[in-house]
Structure 1
Amino acid sequence: MNPASSTLLDHDEVGRILIAVDASPASLRAAAYVQGIAAPGAHVRIVSVAEDPRRLIPLDPLVGVDLSSVRDELLRGAEDAVTQAQSIFSSGETVVDTEVIDLSMQGRDLAHALLEAARTWRADLLVVGTRQNRRLLRWLEGTVSEPLARICPCSILVVPVSYERDICGGPKRMLFAVDGSSPSRHALRYGLKFATKQTSLRLVHILDQAVRMSDFVPLPLFEDALVKEGNAALAAAAELLAGLRIAAESAMISTERTGDDVPHAIVREADHWNADLVVMGTHGRRGISRWLLGSVASRVLRITHVPVLLVRPIAA
């Protein structure tokens, strides 16, 4: 981040950023995004995981076969991925170190190896790139990033490979999905640490019109309750920002009554508004709408074209 683009809040909770990389363009996009948002003096660790060849190749036809050459090639690939990502930070003020994890020496899968790396290093933020609907080199796409989003001890930033904007100096347009819960308010505060005075902010609450409870509650009463809940969520977020003397626009966004859901509404709004970053809590309220839950966050990751920051709630 450009030092001249001071953030609205201090980066005190985001000083240690772990980037998981492989040999894909998605990983380079994730590293470039971090280079744009990291505060001067932030400590970045770039980690690549070398697969265990015994997990990649069926064992029965290879009984007694020496897989050391395959292991060496996988390690070289991981080292090359780390080197490429590290070169992105060559001209900045960010402190960067690297690590290659050899899964042939561990009994873990990819997700849990990254989880342990984040926990051991005490990362404040884990960053991964993702490629939707690709079959090769898949360890950082939905098959891994979704489990990480559920079990990671820190917040997680997912950067789609399709996202190509230059965010030097920080995100220009940040979209916050809010639901009025305590985790949602914490996600708002956390996300503001990446916003600068030049960043446009937008608060949205999704009114899920596809929800069906008319067998139990008259539909007009149910919809009125959803609107009331949404207005309260937006008002609470606006009050928090007002207390920090930060301005933002807000909107209630409705899903279509059929063939739509909350994740698609969030992604659609982010695309229409040209957001550079979507901020969500990983857990939210369990009231009438129940929309900002972990399952919604995971589904957003599958379809987003915009980087998504999933903020972990404060530990009890």
Structure 2
Amino acid sequence: MRITCGTEFSERSYQAAEVAALLAARSGGRMELVHALDVRGAVFGAAHVLQTLETAARERLDAEVERLRALGATVDAALPDGWPDEALLAEAARHQSTLLVLGATGSRDGPGVSVGKTCERTLSRTTVPMLVVRDAAPLLAWLRGERPLNILVGFDFTVQSASALAFAARLARIGSCRIVAAYTDDPKREASRMGLLDEPDEARRRLYDSLVERVAQLEPDLPAEVVVSPHLGDPASRLAHLAERESIDLIVTGTNQRRPLQRLFAGSVSLQLLRDSPTNVLVVPTPPEAASAAALAAPREVRRVLVATDLSDTGNRAVAHAIAIAPPGCEITVIHVMNPNQMLDGAFGRPSYREFETEHAKERARREEALQKLMPPPERLRQRSIRFEVVEHDLPAKAIVEQAQKHDVDLLCVGTLGRSGLSAALLGSSAQQVLRTWKGPLLLIPPAGQD
């Protein structure tokens, strides 16, 4: 690694510099120790005053460099003047550094200690990963080979979390690590997305399985534990709670580098962690090229397909198309959405109606039978599995999307009435509503004769 480390000659800076030096030595890289000569208060002073400040800073910087070189690291020094954050970022860019290291100051550092503005400003503008050292002891012990490093990665399904996991894997290649990938968004939101608000345990299980699968896809050689946070509060608070519970030495999180106005309204998980984390924090920005590559990445292999039919000719045609294009080994789920108040012959009722339950059960059985008739002959299945399900919901489009999320499908297939123009705007359709809300691949099948 090529590491740029800032120092203001405090005790915490000395510890952060020692971490940076050992990390550079273990990774076979170099380190640059930077002290920004902040002469803003003395800019109008006599020349000999400025010279005295620079000489004193140079002597302390040289002494610190010698101490760090004794640890086996290759260390250079820089003494730029100006704003500390600007000087650090300029030096990091000049040397094409792959990591910034700074000591932390925050609300946990004792009464009267404010958040370090240099850390905050640097964090908001850095394009390279930034390690903020609050407790150097576990990092130093890990770098000396005395113990594994316990790492907590804030993880979800974004490209930012993928960048964070990739850097954690890089650290694991330097020394022994225990890595916990933690999902800290609201599980209820995921349960609602999958239509499983009444089945929180099932929603949590499906979410956990999806996270395990994603970790394996991104870093197949990384033995990481996956945790769905049970804590309440914002993501930063959840990560902090988990860090204390799991005895974590380092929290690694991605960042989307929001601008100041965006941070004001949307908040910043990385900034909140910087202020309140009980331990060390490593923030990993996502390079623009990585985000672009993720957008252009080849879609994942189709393993699960969901197709919805209203049992009309067009809906059943969508089922036939889904079966035809699904590759061998694919799981096909065919659903039909039925209104929970549906009775026989197109009538609607309420549970309070004396014969509602009987008529509703008969209508559901009739539709289940109609679904089963869509089962293709064995020779058409070609090692694919297929199952049929009647789903009760008063909003068909919402039910279709929820089922697609619930089954984590790679392709959603629905039939469309082929409306366009004013009729589509006025009448709408379930297919159009699905198109507006479903974020994954969607195959729309028009009526016969409109291919």
Q: TM-score range by the shorter chain?
A: 0.7 to 0.9
SS at match of 1:126: strand
> Partner residue of 2:87?
113
Give aligned pairs, total: 271
Spell out the pairing of 1:172-211 with structure 2 (5 A cutoff): 172-195=149-172, 196=174, 198-208=176-186
**2:16 is the alignment partner of 1:30:** yes
**2:37 is the alignment partner of 1:50:** yes
Spell out the pairing of 1:25-174 with structure 2 (5 A cutoff): 25-38=11-24, 39-54=26-41, 66-103=45-82, 109-133=83-107, 142-160=116-134, 162-165=135-138, 166-169=141-144, 172-174=149-151
**2:281 is the alignment partner of 1:304:** no
Deviation at 1:55, TM superposition (A): 7.2
Percent of residue pairs identical: 22
The 1:251–1:226 alpha-carbon spacing in structure 2 relative to 1, beyond 3 Å, is closer
Deviation at 1:222, TM superposition (A): 11
Matches of 1:219 and 1:68 in 2, distance apart? 71
> Partner residue of 2:364?
none
> Partner residue of 1:270?
243
Matches of 1:208 and 1:72 in 2, distance apart? 56
Q: 1:90-146 CA deviation, whole Å, 9 max, x = no partner?
A: 33442110001122xxxxx322222212112211111111111479998xx531212
Structure of higher RCO (CA pairs closer than 8 Å, 6+ residues apart): 1
8 Å Cα contact 2:21-2:31 kept in structure 1: no
> Partner residue of 1:287?
none
Unaligned 5+ residue runs, structure 2?
Answer: 258-265, 290-451
The 1:304–1:87 alpha-carbon spacing in structure 2 relative to 1, beyond 3 Å, is farther
The 1:302–1:91 alpha-carbon spacing in structure 2 relative to 1, beyond 3 Å, is same
> Partner residue of 2:4?
18
Q: Which has the larger radius of gyration?
A: 2
SS at match of 2:229: strand
The 1:95–1:264 alpha-carbon spacing in structure 2 relative to 1, beyond 3 Å, is same
Matches of 2:281 and 2:102 in 1, distance apart? 10
Q: Please provide the CA RMSD for this pair.
A: 3.5
Deviation at 1:70, TM superposition (A): 4.3
Matches of 1:190 and 1:115 in 2, distance apart? 20
Matches of 2:35 and 2:113 in 1, distance apart? 12
Deviation at 1:77, TM superposition (A): 4.8
Matches of 1:89 and 1:97 in 2, distance apart? 10
Q: 1:210-263 CA deviation, whole Å, 9 max, x = no partner?
A: 98xx9xx9993797878855653343013333x22x31221111332xxx3221
The 1:137–1:251 alpha-carbon spacing in structure 2 relative to 1, beyond 3 Å, is closer
The 1:172–1:51 alpha-carbon spacing in structure 2 relative to 1, beyond 3 Å, is same
Provide TM-score, normalisation by structure 2. Answer: 0.52
Deviation at 1:149, TM superposition (A): 1.4
Unaligned 5+ residue runs, structure 1?
Answer: 1-14, 57-64, 104-108, 285-292
Spell out the pairing of 1:250-269 with structure 2 (5 A cutoff): 250-256=226-232, 260-269=233-242
Deviation at 1:76, TM superposition (A): 4.0
Richer in helix (by share): 2
> Partner residue of 2:218?
240
Provide TM-score, normalisation by structure 1. Answer: 0.73
SS at match of 1:36: helix
Matches of 2:113 and 2:48 in 1, distance apart? 19
Deviation at 1:73, TM superposition (A): 4.5
The 1:197–1:54 alpha-carbon spacing in structure 2 relative to 1, beyond 3 Å, is closer
